Amino acid sequence: MTISTLTLTRPDDWHLHLRDGEALEAVVGHSARQFARAIIMPNLKPPVTTTAQALAYRERILAALDKSGDGQSFTPLMTLYLTDNTAAEEIARARESGAVYAVKLYPAGATTNSDAGVTDLLGRCGKVLETMEKLGMPLLTHGEATDPAIDVFDREKVFIDRVMIPLRRAFPGLKVVFEHITTADAAQYVRDAEGPIAATITPQHLLYNRNALFQGGVRPHWYCLPVLKRETHRQALVEVATSGNPRFFLGTDSAPHARGLKEHACGCAGCFTGLHAMELYAKAFDDAGRLDALEGFASFHGPDFYGLPRNTGKLTLVREPFRIPDELPFGLQTIVPLAGGETLPWRVSI
Ligand code: DOR
Ligand code: ZN
């Protein structure tokens, strides 16, 4: 029998870009309608590198939520942006604040606003990593090697060998989230490695392979980093996401950029899925015949890894066509949701 309604424990988004200012006001309500909590990425301009900045950003998010009318139901979980110069004391302050839940590693130059990122993780950040390990503060990694000589499709695999394995050998007790994994190599590594490791997976990497970038012409709204990979990798991601393994959980990496900056000679990386993330995930799990595994992935494995309580609210999806809007307001500009204009088989019931 085909299921027509799916009620889940309210999910969380363990990897979200909310931006700031008008952009923040435009997108925050969309995430709040679906998710109870989200890990908020710190790659603003300038990046959120201190606890004081994280707390101030948190206030701006809450104010934007109030304006959007979705205020009560959403808790932003803040992160710090790791730099070569982050002090160990900053980690202790972050922990004491009770509002900062993780530290994000952007290898310098890997992606949007990563210029202030880390140039030499073990060489420069040893004391910080030691403190994080001691305090149980998770490190969230953008897992791509940055050497420009490495093929863009190989950067995640090379990161495992050059950064992830040495990092975890040096700090075996450090909680690590391998963010937005895109390859069979990363899926396998996270599945089989020892110690406290997990991975987030985006809806676009479960639904599309790299052909989507070029179907009928260059399609910038499918461009994100790490870039979509070949079909065998997509299948490996679906396999682990739907396996029930608690090391894999939901992180949309929804990364809004104004339409004009995506449809550009040098278009920005990032797919905007904040509007319809749960609809996209539902399609991916349904296509795999594993709707039964969606709740674990979306609502249980994340809080369990972070050591936070599971949510008590619910979210219901119904099997009804949902036409993704072509574009949405984004301050004075517009934004194109991933797969805008297409129709999905599930929608969140409000
Ligand atoms: O596609 C991406 N967009 N990947 C990232 O790592 C950053 C993000 C953004 O901030 O736009
Ligand atoms: Zn991201």
**Would the pTM count as exceeding 0.85?**
yes
Pairs from 298-303 (Cβ < 8 Å, separation ≥ 24): 298/8, 298/11, 298/12, 298/249, 298/250, 299/8, 299/9, 299/10, 299/11, 299/12, 300/9, 300/246, 301/198, 301/246, 301/247, 301/248, 301/249, 302/12, 302/14, 302/249, 302/250, 302/251, 303/12
Q: Which pLDDT does position 73 carry in this prediction?
A: 86
Residue 43 Cα to ligand 2 midpoint, Å, equals 8
Q: Which pLDDT does position 65 carry in this prediction?
A: 96
The Cα 193–Cα 16 span in angstroms is: 25
Residue 137 Cα to ligand 1 midpoint, Å, equals 22
Token pair in block for residue 128: 């910080």
Token pair in block for residue 76: 């932003």
Q: Which atom of ligand 1 is found nearest the CA of 224? A: 1
Instruction: Specify whether the backbone of 27 is left (phi greater than 0), alpha (psi in -120 to 50) or beta.
Output: alpha
Q: Which pLDDT does position 245 carry in this prediction?
A: 98
Residue 222 Cα to ligand 1 midpoint, Å, equals 12
Q: Which pLDDT does position 91 carry in this prediction?
A: 98
pLDDT tens per residue, the chain (350 residues)? 678 999 999 999 999 999 999 999 999 999 999 999 999 999 999 999 999 999 999 999 999 999 987 656 899 999 999 999 999 999 999 999 999 999 999 999 777 677 789 999 999 999 999 999 999 999 999 999 999 999 999 999 999 999 999 999 999 999 999 999 999 999 999 999 999 999 999 999 999 999 999 999 999 999 999 999 999 999 999 999 999 999 999 999 999 999 999 999 999 999 999 999 999 999 999 999 999 999 999 999 999 999 999 999 999 999 999 999 999 999 999 999 999 999 999 999 97
Taking the CA of 117 as reference, the closest ligand is 1
CB-defined site of ligand 1, < 6 Å: 17, 43, 111-112, 142, 224-225, 255, 269-270
Q: What is the DSSP letter of 234?
A: H
User: Is residue 143 within 8 Å of 181, Cβ to Cβ?
Assistant: yes
Residues taking part in catalysis: 253
Sorted by where each starts, the structural domains of the chain and their CATH numbers stand as 12-310 (3.20.20.140)
